[in-house]
Copies of this chain bind each other. A is one copy, B any other.
Amino acid sequence: MALRHAVLAALLHGERSGYELAKTFDVGVADFWYAAPQQLYLEIAKLEREGMLAGREVVQTSRPNKRVYRVTGAGLAELARFAEAPTKPIFGRDELLVKVHAADHLDPAPLLEQLAERAAIATAKIALFTRTLQRLRGELSQEQYLADGDQVGPYLTCLRGLRFEQENLDWCGQAAQVLRSRAEVRDPEPRTFHPQPHNHRKR
C-alpha cells in the first residue's frame, strides 16, 4: 500500500476529481510518483469505501458531471501514521539509464535519439515546475514563501522535481555528446554499426 498515501497527500490542498488527479499523476506529481488513471479510479473508490475520502457530486452543464473528493479525518490520521513509519528507499527505475549502461555494446544511434527525446521532456517539465512554483509563491520571494507560505509541502517537492529535471537535462546533454564523439571516432559512417559482443576494448 503506497499509492493511497500519494493520493491522500495530493488531495490535502483542496478537492479534486479523479480525472483532475489523474492529470497531475500522469505528469508525475513533481516527478516523485506516477500512476495511470485507471489505477487512481480504483484507489479512490477504495479509499472512499474505507472512509478516508469523502466524495461529492458536482453537476456541470456543458460537461459530464464529476465527483470531487476531500480527505477526511480518518484519511489524515492514516497519512500521519504513514509519515511516522520508516521510509522505504527510493525507487529509481529508469529504462533510459539501463540503455545507457549498456551503451558500450549497443548501436549509439537509437540511444542518441532517445536522449534527445528525454531532454525535450525534461525541458517541458522544467517549464511546468517553474510555473507551478511561481503560482504557489505569488508575489513573495522564494525565501519569504518558504518562511511564511501556506503550502510549503508542495513547494518543496516541486522544487525537488525542478532540480531533478535540470540535472536530468544536463546529464542527457553530456551523455549524448560523449556517445556522439565516440561514435565518430569509432565509425565515421554511422550506418555500418555492428554490436561487439563482449570484447572489452583495450585502448
Checking B73, B148, B164, B175 against A167 with a beta-carbon cut-off of 8 angstroms, the contacting residue is B164
Nearest residue (CB) in B for A8 is: B102
A163 cross-chain contacts in B, Cβ below 8 A: 167, 170-171
Q: A33-B97, A97-B160 are in contact. Are A106 and B87 (CB under 8 A)?
A: no
How far, in angstroms, from A202 to B95 measured CA to CA in the complex?
43
Q: A101-B154, A106-B79, A197-B76 are in contact. Are A92 and B203 (CB under 8 A)?
A: no
Nearest residue (CB) in B for A170 is: B163
Please tell me if the beta carbons of B93 and A157 are within 8 angstroms of each other in the complex.
no
* Interface size classification for chain A: 35 or more
A179 cross-chain contacts in B, Cβ below 8 A: 152
Which of A42-50, A56-64, A111-119 forms contacts with chain B? A111-119
Please tell me if the beta carbons of B90 and A28 are within 8 angstroms of each other in the complex.
yes
Nearest residue (CB) in B for A88 is: B95
Distance (whole angstroms) from the CB of A151 to the closest CB of chain B: 6
A41 cross-chain contacts in B, Cβ below 8 A: none
Q: A89-B34, A92-B91, A150-B200 are in contact. Are A83 and B97 (CB under 8 A)?
A: no
A128 cross-chain contacts in B, Cβ below 8 A: none
Q: Tell whether A71 is near chain B: CB-to-CB under 8 Å.
A: yes
Q: Tell whether A120 is near chain B: CB-to-CB under 8 Å.
A: no
Q: Which of A28, A87, A88 has the most chain B CB atoms inside 10 A of its CB?
A: A87
Nearest residue (CB) in B for A196 is: B76
Distance (whole angstroms) from the CB of A37 to the closest CB of chain B: 14
Please tell me if the beta carbons of B182 and A152 are within 8 angstroms of each other in the complex.
yes
Q: Tell whether A190 is near chain B: CB-to-CB under 8 Å.
A: no
A160 cross-chain contacts in B, Cβ below 8 A: 97, 171, 175
What string of 1s and 0s marks CB contacts (under 8 Å) between A92-129 and chain B? 11111111111111110011001001100100000000
A80 cross-chain contacts in B, Cβ below 8 A: 106-107, 195
Please tell me if the beta carbons of B152 and A104 are within 8 angstroms of each other in the complex.
yes
Please tell me if the beta carbons of B150 and A32 are within 8 angstroms of each other in the complex.
no
